[in-house]
Structure 1
């Protein structure tokens, strides 16, 4: 059996449903195929439930610190079952809203099943063949379990299984000191777990500037989290009542025994088994679908959006992929990936908001630089809230007077960074922001002050 459509979308993550909505609004007949749950990683196992957990962990942490603010609370306890139920309820409600919206779109057929390309214009699903002149791949990614000795002898968890736990781990060992690992490490420490982070690199989140990495490590250690870097020979051994994690570090015990192990060692694209060869779609060495500046693949009529193209691993970049494709195909625009200013956040407490280049990356360009930093201990809003961990930093081009990058590690940093991101997106000189009159007391009010403090470096 063969059915014909104007467009086929494989994957109902962040880009797929939005694109389906635009296409059917333009009068097209569209098939949307999803093998799991509507909403993809973000809604079901990523941003939505994990940030709900972060919020619960923050509430517990703040309650324990209530005395710092002159408030008495008594003994603080964590009802972990209620914490998980809250996160799952929020994710379920978000997914339900998406499902209801999609069900009401005229011209859209939603199919649940494993999709496989059988040619440049055809997709097989549930025993039938769908044909369309345009195919959009939005298949996302999944946790990557990096091969390590003994891994097949022990039971480990990914971020997905962490959301299904029924009790707080006695001792959680987190393999991987990057964004996902750090968020889970801090939240479970605040829920009551003993936590150890094991990272192969010399420092946490090695892509960030050293000052950021060092500050984050210090704040985690201040909460009682053990951090083991330079762990170059990670291996696993079953132990009575737990899992032995062997590490080769410069100092500390050679083995850490945990009750649970979280593998936070990156993600991989869901492109295997998709039948890309049958359509002639090319991938890189990591399995990401190769796309050009407009998100077109190596096969005319096929586009790849979201995590599977390796051009951004965030919900907001996936959504922007949809915006680029829709603008070009439906609005007669000429949007490009290269126009996107990269920005993201790390949702530890305090959060890290980041945009553009780090100082190290900026120096590699050979441009003359202007740099300014300010500790959060000199930010009135942070002092008033009793949350002074962190720093603010801006790197600019001395000749063009364009901001190249910025970092705000501190209370409200994930929100305040948008003032810089918006200026960079508008391609305006830093002087355009210098004379803004921000609201006091906020974290963002210090951005113009930082610009005044820029010095050659």
Structure 2
């Protein structure tokens, strides 16, 4: 590349999710000529098949659950819940998705004025002179060049190599949200955030759910979270089978049920249900991009190997979002997109900082965390001191009549600095958001314990958890803590 080289575009982006849009917006604001290529539906995973549709369905399921459960929590209240009209629920979900896609993606691209092409993009050329070959939906092909390229193709559900699974009509988190009937029963393979959310969603809609989990629920988070959610799920009729390794799946020709055989506690057991949902993780979508031809290395799971600046092994090709194999959060992808543009065009030389990322699983009560777990702190060489505050000591939980859960603080013993917060609670995501500010500013346990906090909020629980380091919180007055 020389100073006299003329490119068709300054930035060519493959994909149209949050990382792609963040890059396109920043690039356009810098006056760059931007091309976005999308082979499917504009908007990526979050708005089409991920965050937006799943959370609106979870909210609907929670409304039904509250209607069926309120009479058990609050004296004097009598409620009931009718069967779900699944087709209507899915139609309403799809209407929301289409409106948000039009307003926040398609409409924004038009407002900013960058070019969007519908088709399949594949790298060609050489590592020193990469180009994109774009095949439109009409079969017509074009070749374009750019000073920089961004791969933001996201991830897709990963299907494990289980015997017989390819011959079964299995569901993924994507297809499960398109069902027009509530299944009478469902097996869910997996115990991560997708599995947890989908399990509670369908159980609350009326499905009998069994989860087959290799280790424990939310295995990357604090063990107290798994214990709390096991109790919640048991109360709601969700069966969780731990340390279950599925070896084969088949369809029973007589009943039409799916039958899964799994090793459990040293023996073999069979589990059956009307449907099976695979929630064993996601993998980056890179296999058809011809990355090798332009000198871009990928990892064992297909992820593009990037530096902390988000540049790949080809300095003109960058990656953002799930395709990097980093944390699969929409706000990570968006941060990637903006950072990539700053580094490519403004030579900012900035690294992506993942230290204080909040993470939320939208169960009810929710699981949320920020910073390190107890185990991660110890592995990092931090001698830590932890406190786990049951929600029975949080006034907001008491008035909600729901004390299922906890708030845990992990602090550096030497300095008192808080390095991690985890909660299972209603609105736990808001606690994690507060935790971001606590960790970013390096606050100590003593500082948080002496801050003012609004009474009868879940966030007050962080203050009480901090007080528990030096105080018997059972002796606190609820209004004078």
The answer, yes or no, to whether TM exceeds 0.5 is: yes
Calculate the TM-score normalised by the size of structure 1. Answer: 0.94
- Aligned length, in residue pairs: 452
Determine if contact 2:222/2:422 at 8 Å carries over to the other structure: no
For residue 431 of structure 1, report the CA deviation from its aligned partner. 4.3
Determine if contact 1:340/1:425 at 8 Å carries over to the other structure: no
For residue 104 of structure 1, report the CA deviation from its aligned partner. 2.5
Structure 1 residues 437 and 334: alpha-carbon distance in aligned structure 2, compared to 1, 3 A threshold: farther
Equivalent of 2:240 in 205, 221, 227? 227
The answer to whether structure 1 residue 131 and structure 2 residue 145 are counterparts is: yes
The answer to whether structure 1 residue 116 and structure 2 residue 125 are counterparts is: no
Equivalent of 2:295 in 267, 275, 280? 280
Alignment of 1:167-316 (within 5 A): 167-201=181-215, 203-239=216-252, 240=254, 241-250=256-265, 254-316=269-331
For residue 340 of structure 1, report the CA deviation from its aligned partner. 4.3
What RMSD in Å do the two structures reach over aligned CA positions?
A: 1.9
The answer to whether structure 1 residue 102 and structure 2 residue 115 are counterparts is: no
Greater shift, 134-143 or 394-403, is seen at: 394-403
For residue 3 of structure 1, report the CA deviation from its aligned partner. 7.5
The answer to whether structure 1 residue 345 and structure 2 residue 360 are counterparts is: yes
Determine if contact 1:174/1:264 at 8 Å carries over to the other structure: yes
Structure 1 match to 2:170: 156
Structure 2 match to 1:140: 154
Determine if contact 2:12/2:34 at 8 Å carries over to the other structure: yes
The answer to whether structure 1 residue 425 and structure 2 residue 440 are counterparts is: yes
Unaligned 5+ segments in structure 2 are 1-5, 136-140, 471-481
For residue 74 of structure 1, report the CA deviation from its aligned partner. 4.2
Structure 1 residues 128 and 226: alpha-carbon distance in aligned structure 2, compared to 1, 3 A threshold: same
The answer to whether structure 1 residue 46 and structure 2 residue 50 are counterparts is: yes
Structure 1 match to 2:32: 28
For residue 164 of structure 1, report the CA deviation from its aligned partner. 1.2
Mapped partners of 2:237, 2:266: distance in 1: 18
For residue 333 of structure 1, report the CA deviation from its aligned partner. 4.3
For residue 332 of structure 1, report the CA deviation from its aligned partner. 6.2
The one-character-per-residue Cα deviations of 1:178-204 (angstroms, maximum 9, x if unpaired) are 110111111101100111001122x22
For residue 394 of structure 1, report the CA deviation from its aligned partner. 0.6
The one-character-per-residue Cα deviations of 1:12-40 (angstroms, maximum 9, x if unpaired) are 11111121112112211110011111110
Equivalent of 1:446 in 461, 465, 474? 461
Paired residue secondary structure (2:264): coil
Greater shift, 420-429 or 330-339, is seen at: 330-339
Mapped partners of 1:389, 1:253: distance in 2: 33
Structure 1 residues 340 and 371: alpha-carbon distance in aligned structure 2, compared to 1, 3 A threshold: closer
Greater shift, 72-81 or 226-235, is seen at: 72-81
Calculate the TM-score normalised by the size of structure 2. Answer: 0.90
Structure 1 residues 333 and 427: alpha-carbon distance in aligned structure 2, compared to 1, 3 A threshold: farther
Structure 1 residues 273 and 409: alpha-carbon distance in aligned structure 2, compared to 1, 3 A threshold: same
Greater shift, 235-244 or 126-135, is seen at: 235-244
Paired residue secondary structure (1:366): coil
The one-character-per-residue Cα deviations of 1:307-346 (angstroms, maximum 9, x if unpaired) are 0001221111111212322444466645322354232111
For residue 429 of structure 1, report the CA deviation from its aligned partner. 3.9
Determine if contact 2:64/2:81 at 8 Å carries over to the other structure: no
